[in-house]
Structure 1
């Protein structure tokens, strides 16, 4: 059984994330934890007095969560899926960390506004903070993403990291759930001149994929002056429907997502991003 965490602020973006997750894992037995973290000032508790303050005109987060659960149950009648609402107050990242540990979360699914969620302030967003501060796989769903399993998944890599079991297992699960084809992408400005460790890592990844997905993967070496532009162009030209990366590979991660403008990422706003942690 999979344990999936979906933080929500009751926006359309968080609903899109939930919708995508429900469709992606439609044939998997799952518990979906729908987590809302509100500010302490909205907790109806004044200081340490534990005095409950009544606010009759305000719809509480608990009430909103109940409405959300009713909406989910009316739209998605899947016997394999269970939905549990969680309400917390305080720091979002702290509560996500606690929930990941206490509920044994396998993957966090979060919505984003697309290009604006991946521009210069990327690390300042909730999504960016979750990716960098919470040790758990994260699936980021842009607002324009179609709620269906991907047919083609791209995996940009520079072969500088050894592919550990958690990383390979995460790739395997996504490919098995979606039955998608995997495109491994490596971008260089000149003809590749791999180090010995890069050659070993590439061969190891190739052997692994050949054993499990012999006809469903390819290695693609691209010559390009700019890594980010080359990868984003590849996504568009090859109709990639999910991008997956290793969180630990900070160098490549920075080249693709840091210091981007909205215009540069506008054509990538419908492609979910799957970030894998070890």
Structure 2
């Protein structure tokens, strides 16, 4: 198993790395921790003069601190760690690593050093989710690892499930012997269409070899339905298909009401075809 861990040395980034090490504790894994310097120079104004300096001034020191934290983290003989620093376009660098290192999963925090806290998910993480076709585990700032006994999979059954989506779901379930809860949400009580019913039956057949269940919630908003389900079933992870933009935008990118807290506490697994 090969895991890519992009880092900007923020606390949220370290939290994602720590979570990944614990989540994959039962798996033989290679962790590739990378820091990508943007080639553009930033301008700093000092006494009225513009001074150019590269953004990577403190990279070496930051990596030393990160490695010290890893050494203090519980060691695992099944894990190997590799670090690298490079210059270039962020997304292109990520894509290159995915191909060259045969990356199985990317793990990132929801926010980095941008301090733009109004957004549920930061710009770099959003770009990776939407532009890199690799499963990505997004770890919120308040998420702390505990055994993942239940994974929620919100879906509207309108989109077919490709083999890669189902196999990744089952693979993740096997990591920690997790049960998968498929959640269908509707604004009003109504029967599934023929297409929805066929997709549901297909998914049922594909999930026979892992613990799973199907649930139906009626709620005016998807976010409230997910929040309620997460609390009632003590969900430790939420899985979603990147292709299902409606669910995607509402669960991850939609402005969040105060009573919605899952986006700060529950990791999201984004699946690509």
Higher alpha-carbon deviation: 266-275 or 137-146:
266-275
The match for 2:80 is: 82
CA–CA distance in structure 1, aligned partners of residues 19 and 256 of structure 2: 26
CA–CA distance in structure 2, aligned partners of residues 232 and 117 of structure 1: 25
Q: Give 3-state SS (helix, strand or coil) of 1:212's partner.
A: coil
Q: CA deviation at 1:235?
A: 1.1
CA–CA distance in structure 1, aligned partners of residues 253 and 116 of structure 2: 8
Q: Does 1:186 align with 2:181?
A: no
> Are 2:16 and 2:109, in contact at CA under 8 Å, matched by a contact in 1?
yes
Q: Give 3-state SS (helix, strand or coil) of 1:269's partner.
A: helix
Q: CA RMSD in A?
A: 2.8
Q: CA deviation at 1:81?
A: 0.7
Name the structure with the higher helix share. 1
Q: Give 3-state SS (helix, strand or coil) of 2:265's partner.
A: coil
The match for 2:34 is: 35
> Are 1:152 and 1:240, in contact at CA under 8 Å, matched by a contact in 2?
yes
The match for 2:209 is: 212
CA–CA distance in structure 2, aligned partners of residues 118 and 139 of structure 1: 20
Q: Say which of 131, 134, 137 aligns to 2:135.
A: 137
Q: CA deviation at 1:121?
A: 3.9
The TM-score with structure 1 as length reference comes to 0.85
The match for 1:11 is: 10
Cα distance change, pair 268–121 in 1 and its aligned pair in 2 (3 A): closer
What are the equivalent positions in structure 2 for 1:97-246 lying under 5 Å apart? 97-113=95-111, 121-122=119-120, 125-209=123-207, 211-213=208-210, 216-246=211-241
Cα distance change, pair 93–78 in 1 and its aligned pair in 2 (3 A): same
Q: CA deviation at 1:117?
A: 9.6
CA–CA distance in structure 2, aligned partners of residues 117 and 219 of structure 1: 38
Q: CA deviation at 1:64?
A: 2.7
Cα distance change, pair 117–153 in 1 and its aligned pair in 2 (3 A): farther
CA–CA distance in structure 2, aligned partners of residues 218 and 123 of structure 1: 29
CA–CA distance in structure 2, aligned partners of residues 267 and 242 of structure 1: 10
Q: Give 3-state SS (helix, strand or coil) of 1:263's partner.
A: coil
> Are 1:167 and 1:246, in contact at CA under 8 Å, matched by a contact in 2?
yes
What are the equivalent positions in structure 2 for 1:246-265 lying under 5 Å apart? 246-261=241-256, 263-265=258-260
The TM-score with structure 2 as length reference comes to 0.86
CA–CA distance in structure 2, aligned partners of residues 108 and 142 of structure 1: 14
Instruction: For residues 22-74 of structure 1, give each alpha carbon's deviation from its aligned partner in whole angstroms, at most 9, with x where no partner exists.
Output: 1111121111000101232579xxxxxxxxxx99xx96413432442343134
Q: CA deviation at 1:159?
A: 0.6
Cα distance change, pair 118–105 in 1 and its aligned pair in 2 (3 A): farther
Instruction: For residues 229-250 of structure 1, give each alpha carbon's deviation from its aligned partner in whole angstroms, at most 9, with x where no partner exists.
Output: 1112211222111000000111
